[in-house]
Amino acid sequence: MVTVMVLFDSRGGLVEQLAAAVAEGVRSVDGTTLLYRRLDEAAPKELPTVDALIVGSPNWSGMTGKLKDWFDHSGDLWQTGELASKPGGAFVAGYSRSGGTEATLLQLLHLLLGHGMIVVGLPWSDRMRVSGSYYGATAHGAVTEDDREQARALGRRVAELAVRLAAAMLYTARRVMRTGPHSPISP
């Protein structure tokens, strides 16, 4: 089983609605355990234990200070690398279509990359005309069914990558039993 954390700061509800859809996407993938965490309920000590992390924020001209502050006080994981080479993703909800949605997603992706994580977004589909970003899942003003579908796709994609990487480790482990040591993923 791989553990996928969905972590978000929600005020006003849109972000939480997106988070619920991201969580549905995670749960739809066999072999995953979901950690669903509002920021107030999350414990930094859980972070190093997860196999994947999907972070959500309202668009407050960037992520909320409260969310960033939580990460600022989550220890030195960025330095010690407990999250390095694990999959991550992001989602954002706000008032406006192009007034910072991508910028806020990018701040979240930067945080994930700052931990050495592997970034998963959304590929093009016609649905992206009205919802979603290459950088992650989105909502503007309200959470529509298109928004939920993109959020589910994001949850699925991150979870499937985590499951595949775990499977690869099993496969490699078996292969190693036959062929000798295989170099670990470079730090």
Residues 6+ apart with CB under 8 A from 116: 78, 81, 83, 84, 85, 187
**How far is CA 3 from each of CA 52, 103, 131, rounded to the nearest angstrom?**
7, 28, 27
- Taking the complex as a whole, how short is the minimal distance between the CB of residue 35 and a second copy, in angstroms? 21
Establish if 63 lies at the interface with a second copy (CB under 8 A): yes
- Report if residue 144 touches a second copy, rule: CB under 8 A: no
List 124, 177, 178, 181, residue binding a second copy (CB under 8 A):
124
Which of these ranges, 12-20, 33-41, 44-52, 165-173, lies near a second copy under the rule CB under 8 A? 165-173
- Residue range at the interface with a second copy (CB under 8 A); choices 15-23, 34-42, 43-51, 158-166: 158-166
Residue 49 is a binding residue for a second copy (CB under 8 A):
no
Shortest spacing between CB 148 and a second copy, in angstroms? 14
Which positions from 25 through 44 interact with a second copy, judged by CB under 8 A?
25, 29-30
Residue 14 Cα distances to 70, 148, 171, angstroms? 20, 11, 40
E strands, the chain, where? 2-8, 32-38, 52-58, 87-94, 118-119, 137-140
Based on the shown chain and the rule CB under 8 A, indicate whether residue 176 belongs to the binding site for a second copy.
Answer: no
- Residues 85 and 168: beta-carbon distance below 8 Å: no
Q: Which is nearer to a second copy, 13 or 130 (CB)?
A: 130
Among residues 43, 45, 129, 181, the one that binds a second copy under rule CB under 8 A? 129
Q: What is the largest CA-CA distance in the chain?
A: 56
